[in-house]
Amino acid sequence: MTQPSPLIHARGLRRHYQRGQVTALDGIDLAIPKGRIVGLIGPNGSGKTTALKAILGLTPYQGELSVLGLNPSRHRDRLMENVCFIADVAVLPRWAKVSQMIDLTDGMHPRFNRARCVEYLEATNVRMNAKVGTLSRGMVVQLHLALVMAIEADLLVLDEPTLGLDLLFRKQFYTNLINDYFNENRTILITTHQVEEVEHILTDLIFIKEGRLILNDTMESVMGDYAELLVKPEAVEKAKAHHPIATRTMMGQPVFLYHNVDQLALAELGEVRSPSVSDLFVALMSKQH
């Protein structure tokens, strides 16, 4: 059976600045199918924002790139009919009324479903005649969610979407996103520094460093390939013999990270567990590639 074409496909994707002196993307290959929730994680200056801009047709690039079967540079207007991009859910014009935000979104996006937006807001305390500036931060989140989830886009791109929100509203944002928006025909691409808040919803994980991908796999594979070992004090030397790729200390106890090592053998040396995405991120970012 022929496999469906990836929703996002990149080959040898490159982007240079300052007349080639600065490399933001260094030969990236990507193949993201539909119906996935992908975390694109990297430190500041790693190239993740440049990658998003290329995908959205906002910056030139070298190499091959196809998004929803379109070239982002040549067909951005057509592409954005099926894409929704959100940078910060807390940023909406304070002077505008809720009803005006709905009108604005309706006029801007051809796949905005006004009825669905209104229906979602009716289940909240957000009122149509209220100005954004008078809403609590939680209500602003609910309004932005209603606007986003009423856009029937094939690709939703979220760039630090919960920046500046407290823990309660960040959790609410992702819970509603999964329960009320995501389905097998939609793909969500998320960049965030709050890795621990999204790891439970991700289906795929990408780490980017200095313009190169150092991890690009499904969460299922990542959790199967990597293991952490809380080493028994008397087993440290034996644990080192299995060649950990990173080490750290937790409450005085050594913790070793392994890649593709027999976990049954490790279990004899201490407690084996799957690493958190944030711990894996720190370890791989610190490792020389």
- For residue 149, pLDDT over 50 is answered with yes
Q: 111 to each of 81, 117, 154, 282, how far by Cα in Å?
A: 7, 12, 10, 39
| pLDDT at residue 4 in the model | 65
- For residue 92, pLDDT over 70 is answered with yes
Cα 281 from chain centroid (whole Å): 13
Average pLDDT over every residue of 196-219:
93
Look up the CATH number of the domain holding residue 128: 3.40.50.300
Residues 146, 273 share a domain: no
Domain end residue (candidates: 142, 177, 210): 210
Residues 169, 55 share a domain: yes
Q: Which amino acid makes up residue 248? A: R
Residues 12, 88 share a domain: yes
Residues 200, 228 share a domain: no
Q: Domain tally for the chain?
A: 2
Pairwise pLDDT comparison (153 vs 145), residue with the higher score = 153
Average pLDDT, the chain: 89
**234 within some domain:** yes
Helix (H, G, I), strand (E, B) or coil at 251: coil
Residues 228, 205 share a domain: no
Domain extent for 230: 222-286
**1 within some domain:** no
Average pLDDT over every residue of 137-141:
82
Residues 112, 242 share a domain: no
Q: Which residues contact 288 (CB under 8 A, 6 or more apart)?
A: none
Residues 226, 182 share a domain: no
Q: What is the pLDDT of residues 168-198, one digit of tens each?
A: 778 878 888 888 788 888 999 999 888 888 8
**199 within some domain:** yes
